Amino acid sequence: MNKELMEALDILEREKEISKETLFEAIENSLITACKNHFGKADNVKVEIDRDTCDFFCYAEKEVVEEPEDPVLQISLEKAREISEDAKIGDTIRVEIKSKEFGRIATQNAKSVILQKIREEERSVIYNQYYEKEKDVVTGIVQRYVGRNISINLGKADAILNENEQVRGENFRPTERIKVYILEVKNTPKGPRILVSRTHPELVKRLFESEVTEIKDGTVEIMSIAREAGSRTKIAVRSNNPNVDAVGACVGINGARVNSIVDELCGEKIDIVNWDDNPGNLIQNALSPAKIVAVFADPDEKTAKVVVPDYQLSLAIGKEGQNARLAARLTGYKIDIKSETQAKDAPGFRYEDYLYDDEEEAYEEESEYEGEAYTEGYEEGYEQEPAENTEEYVEDEAVEE
């Protein structure tokens, strides 16, 4: 039994995840290549390897003739009978080839064939491994900066975080561990080329899936995400179980779940709102923490008109229009926001125009609770920021006035 070869194959299979069958085929091809280099041709050469003992037998099939014209393909009757006493003219006989007789060049070529096959299989294994993780989140270690791009080690391969996929303001140090979203895995002659991102909205979705058990098992479903990387993300969730609060599940006890994701995203703000099949209610939720007086949504045109209290206009629009912009992306509606004063000054304005028939009664009661979307999204206590933001936006409005 060839114990050394068996041990070498076991190590390769364990460390590089290359199957033994592939390695056996590489050895067979290398021996055939060595025979071709040694004899000039190897059309009649066969190699058999015992998969259990790693013992191999290399032979050439030669035709028995009276006077051989090609010693590589033919053998005389006299020499054939030295191998088999029953040999006769026209028979095909196996003639053993001893690999020890190969020259140095033939041996080196055989070695090159084996190494080349191992490298090809190693690249193929790594490519398949990361191709399966495409559109998923992995943890990597920052290696170095290559110009403005970042090289990130993912374990068995390095990935490239291009400048346009980096979040502005994020600075990483070598050896720092970060989570990245795999955009694409390309197979190249030099090995797999992996492109990753820190700005893709799916990064936030995958982080929630890994952090929130209810999302992983399908109880809570992420319906839509709108993200401005490095600044703010809005996410709409829906519960498939009436006994499970979708927003509460994503927030966690004392905000533990959402805070871990915020930390991973280097402090990026995350607004979690309830999904609603009614576009008016959905838009109202999406514009939180702003209070909404009335909403009129046109599902056919994908447009919506929203009326907010005068002092909430800045909050509804957000800094540099961010809140309204993210709400529009989240809902898929083009949203036009007006204050009550602006709406009343509009020709022919009536509050009824901004309400569905089934919402008119709710509007009459709205003055009592003044914007349920505001309290519903934040009553869990996962973010105490709305009050501060409100002051900030009110101050901005006062300055403008």
Q: Tokens representing 67?
A: 């006077």
DSSP 154: -
- The pLDDT value recorded for residue 149 is 92
**pLDDT exceeds cutoff 80 at 3:** no
Closest CA to 43 of 64, 63, 69, 23: 63
Q: For position 84, what pLDDT does the model report?
A: 79
| 385 pLDDT above the threshold of 80 | no
Q: What is the mean pLDDT of residues 143-166?
A: 91
Q: pLDDT class for 97, splitting at 50, 70, 90?
A: confident
E runs forming strands in 87-213: 92-96, 137-146, 149-153, 158-161, 177-188, 191-197
Mean pLDDT calculated for residue range 388-396: 36
pTM assigned to the model: 0.68
Q: Angle at which helices 201-211 and 256-264 pack, to 10 degrees?
A: 140
Instruction: Look at residue 373 and tell me whether its pLDDT is greater than 80.
Output: no
The answer to whether residue 360 scores a pLDDT higher than 50 is: no
Q: What is the pLDDT of residues 155-170, one digit of tens each?
A: 888 999 999 999 988 8
More confident residue, 36 or 295: 295
The predicted-structure confidence for 220-267, as pLDDT tens digits, reads as follows: 999 999 999 989 999 999 999 999 999 999 999 999 999 999 999 989
Q: Does 363 score more than 50 pLDDT?
A: no
Amino acid type, 120: E
What's the confidence (pLDDT) of residue 269?
92
Average pLDDT of the chain is: 81
CB atoms within 10 A of CB 187: 13
Rounded mean pLDDT, 185-197: 89
**What is the model's pLDDT at position 86?**
79
What is the per-residue pLDDT for 352?
Answer: 54
For 160-187, what is the mean pLDDT? 91
Read off the pLDDT of residues 32-64 as tens digits, 9 standing for 90 and up: 888 777 777 777 788 888 888 877 788 888 888
pLDDT band at 348 (very low <50, low <70, confident <90, very high): low
3-class secondary structure, 269:
strand
**Mean pLDDT, residues 284-304:** 89
Please give the residue that has the higher pLDDT: either 375 or 304: 304
Given a cut of 50, whether residue 294 has pLDDT beyond it is yes
d(CA 164, CA 136): 19
Share of the chain above pLDDT 70, in %: 85
Question: CB under 8 Å to 135, separation ≥6 — which residues?
Answer: 181, 182, 183, 202
- For residue 29, the Cα-to-chain-centroid distance in whole angstroms is 37
How sure is the predictor about 89, in pLDDT bands with cuts at 50, 70 and 90? confident
Q: Does residue 390 have a pLDDT over 70?
A: no
